[in-house]
């Protein structure tokens, strides 16, 4: 069943190619191979078939490249998750704190985390305070930034978050 515009385009192109080839065969039977009309139509049929083949080839390359990119992204995502888990272990977060930390990183509010975990807001706030303390940051922004900073190779204006925390107040 046709479902996307690209499927309809492929279908229409196939119909067009088949009709053009059919018409060329009919013209050959009726007019012979030596008429200008037949020769032009034959050249056009060959060009259309080659073009369609090139389109299919290009799409298969694009699909293969997309699959490779998706695989790389999956590997990067898995590696990032493993790196964050190692950091959680170094900070000695409890299982519950790890769950809350993941939800904080994902951007959930304390209220949303409380609903998801079926606990009171105050419990999540206490766990977040413990997470921030163990990770040596002051708030949610610094906590999430601490993971992003390690992913960014170049510091902005030569300043890193760890340097800012050590500035006198």
User: What's the half-sphere exposure (Cβ side, CA atoms, 13 Å) at 143?
Assistant: 22
Specify the pLDDT at position 4: 56
Residues 169 and 109 in one domain: yes
Residues 103 and 73 in one domain: no
Q: Which domain holds residue 43?
A: 1-90
Residues 99 and 50 in one domain: no
Overall number of domains in the chain: 2
Residues 76 and 4 in one domain: yes
Residues 96 and 168 in one domain: yes
Specify the pLDDT at position 131: 96
Residues 153 and 111 in one domain: yes
pLDDT (tens, 9 = 90+) of the chain, 169 residues, equals: 445 556 777 788 788 878 888 888 888 888 887 888 888 888 888 888 888 888 888 888 999 999 999 999 888 888 888 888 999 999 999 999 999 999 999 999 999 999 999 999 999 999 999 999 999 999 999 898 888 776 666 555 555 555 555 555 5
Residues 66 and 123 in one domain: no
Residues 82 and 10 in one domain: yes
The two structure tokens encoding residue 31: 């007019």
CA–CA dist 134, 130 (Å, integer) = 6
Final residue belonging to a domain, choices 90, 121, 136: 90
CA–CA dist 117, 102 (Å, integer) = 12
Residues 155 and 72 in one domain: no
Residues 111 and 149 in one domain: yes
Contact 97/127 with Cβ under 8 angstroms?
yes
Final residue belonging to a domain, choices 35, 69, 90: 90
Residues 83 and 9 in one domain: yes
CA–CA dist 8, 11 (Å, integer) = 5
Final residue belonging to a domain, choices 72, 90, 108: 90
Specify the pLDDT at position 114: 95
CATH number of the domain residue 101 falls in: 1.10.10.10
């Amino acid at each position: 069943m046709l479902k996307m515009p690209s499927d309809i385009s492929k279908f229409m192109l196939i119909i067009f190619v088949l009709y053009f080839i059919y018409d060329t065969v009919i013209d050959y039977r009726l007019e012979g191979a030596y008429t200008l009309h037949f020769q032009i139509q034959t050249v056009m049929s060959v060009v259309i078939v080659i073009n369609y083949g090139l389109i299919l080839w290009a799409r298969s390359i694009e699909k293969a490249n997309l699959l490779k990119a998706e695989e790389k992204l999956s590997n990067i995502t898995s590696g990032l998750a493993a790196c964050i888990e190692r950091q959680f272990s170094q900070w000695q977060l409890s299982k519950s704190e790890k769950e809350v930390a993941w939800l904080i990183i994902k951007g959930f509010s304390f209220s949303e985390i409380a609903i998801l975990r079926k606990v009171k807001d105050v419990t999540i706030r206490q766990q977040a305070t413990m997470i921030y303390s163990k990770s040596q940051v002051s708030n949610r922004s610094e906590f999430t930034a601490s993971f992003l900073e390690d992913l960014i190779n170049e510091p902005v204006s030569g300043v890193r978050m760890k340097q800012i925390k050590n500035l006198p107040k």
